[in-house]
Structure formats: structure tokens, C-alpha cells
Amino acid sequence: MSIPAFGVGTFRLQGQVVIDSVRNALDVGYRAIDTAQIYENEADVGQAIAESGVAREDLFLTTKIWVPNYAKDKLAPSLKDSLARLRIDYVDLTLIHWPAPDNGVSVDEFMTALADAKAQGLTRQIGISNFPIAQTRAAIAAVGREQIATNQIELSPYLQNHKLVAFLKDQGIHVTSYMTLAYGKVLKDPVIGQIAQRHEATPAQVALAWALQLGYAVIPSSTKRENLASNLLAQQLRLTDEDMAQIAALERHGREVSPQGLAAEWD
């Protein structure tokens, strides 16, 4: 199995807002949806999917296990609860949301529990999120690198994570980029704007196309149907080598998310 290159994110969206976002995304052509237990919107996402009429086998659904559910006796039951909220029998991909080194549950324990959930048929693939190199090595030691479908990490033109990305590529672990637009900051960047003008594209399309051309999967979110449709067009945008070099020069190590107690030491 593989990770879809383009999906819709649901971070910070709840209630009717996320129902409308997912419904519109499915309507304009998205088939991959990313959620998480801590987003507290799995039931809303499930409702939108149920009402969409899109067949389950045509969808790729991702959720993430939240920190209190990492212990081996809690992980699978929590995933079953997620399935009930999502109104489905399995998810396509389940991730450990953060390494949470101070949580008291070892990487070996939660990765083994996650692999067991896969063996039970609760999820088709498993992976990790926000894992730097040291914790990724520990996850590989626990279950084998072939089991880890992706590492979902914050990655944008302002945070390019070269060292971690190179390690993941060497290990054959796919990269999923979240916050690719850096909370919208890159949309105001003059270099991104100039590239967008040259291609008669939007800045969001340029940033997403940059990530796609580097081989990453992307999961941008939007509450606006027109933006959801516009973002999808990034798949048809081909940036030049000069464009890619200009974006590469925008690196500023501008991390937007690093919650205390959940993040391990970044590379």
C-alpha cells in the first residue's frame, strides 16, 4: 500500500465547520482525509463521510493515537473507539501523534501495541508523527522499518528539515508534510509570490507543488470550498529547477509547533 500524495487535513476544525470542509473536499475530488483523536472531530468527520455517498473503499482515512492511549492495554481499545466515531471498520493509516518522551510509555511499547492493532485488522498501515531521528530509530528497532509507512512532520519552505528528511529517505519511510503553508505565512512571501505570478498560480499552489515535487505527501486544510479546489490544482503545477532553488533558499528553521512534553529533541 502507499500513502496518497494529496489529502485534506482537519486540524483545529470541529462541528459543522469540519463537516462542511470534509463534505466540500470530497465533493471537489479529495479522497484522503487526515484526523486525530485529539482533534475531537472524528465523529464529525465520520458524519461527513457517511453523508457523502463516497464508497469506503475509495477513501484513505488517517487518524492518530493521543498520548494517554499509548500504553499497550489502551491503544487498541482507543482505536476501536475512533473507528466507532468515524463509523468505519478500519482506518487506512494510524499514527503515533507525538513521541511524548515524558509520558512513561516507551517507544517499544507503543509501537508494538500499534503493530498489534494492525494485526487485529483495525488499521491497514501504521506510522509515526513528529518523530525526530532518535525516536524514529527506536520505532524501527521495535517493529521494523518496513512497518512504518510514513513520518508526518511539520515541513514548509520555512522549515525544510533536511537532516530528518534525508534519514527517512534512506530508511525508505515516506514523508508527509503538514503545515506546509506555515499557518499561511509563506503565502505572503515575496519569492513565493513572484513564482506564483510566473506560473499564473496561487502562492498556496506553489508551496504545495514544491512539497509534492520533493516527493512528500501533503494534507492542507481549508474551510473554503474554492480554496480546497484550488489547492488540488497544485498537482498539475510543475515548478522549474530555478523555482525549486529559490524556495530552497527560504529555509529559516521556522518551526510553528513544538509542544512542551510531547516533542523530543529536534534534529
In a domain, 1, yes or no: no
242-261 pLDDT, tens digit each: 999 999 999 999 999 999 99
In a domain, 80, yes or no: yes
Taking the C-alpha atoms of residue 70 and residue 194, their distance in angstroms, rounded to an integer, is: 45
Q: Name 125's bridge partners.
A: 93
Closest residue by Cα to residue 23 from 11, 39, 8, 12: 8
117-132 pLDDT, tens digit each: 999 999 999 999 999 9
Taking the C-alpha atoms of residue 27 and residue 45, their distance in angstroms, rounded to an integer, is: 14
Taking the C-alpha atoms of residue 255 and residue 241, their distance in angstroms, rounded to an integer, is: 25
- Residue 77 reports pLDDT greater than 80: yes
24-58 pLDDT, tens digit each: 999 999 999 999 999 999 999 999 999 999 999 99
In a domain, 13, yes or no: yes
In a domain, 265, yes or no: no
The CATH number covering residue 169 comes to 3.20.20.100
In a domain, 189, yes or no: no
Structural domain of 55 = 8-183+215-223
In a domain, 151, yes or no: yes
Sign of CA dihedral 232, 132, 123, 22: negative
In a domain, 195, yes or no: no
Count of domains observed in the chain: 1
In this prediction, residue 112 carries a pLDDT of: 98
Residues 6+ apart with CB under 8 A from 144: none
- Residue 1 reports pLDDT greater than 80: no
- Residue 157 reports pLDDT greater than 90: yes
Q: Are 65 and 99 a contacting pair, CB within 8 Å?
A: no
**What does R_g of the chain's alpha carbons equal in angstroms?**
18
Q: Any known ligand binding at 97?
A: yes
Active site residues: 39
Taking the C-alpha atoms of residue 68 and residue 247, their distance in angstroms, rounded to an integer, is: 38
What are the grid coordinates assigned to 173, written together? 519511510
Taking the C-alpha atoms of residue 171 and residue 160, their distance in angstroms, rounded to an integer, is: 18
How far out from the chain centre does Cα 89 lie?
A: 21
What are the grid coordinates assigned to 21, written together? 470542509
* Phi, psi for residue 218 in degrees, rounded to 5: -130, 150
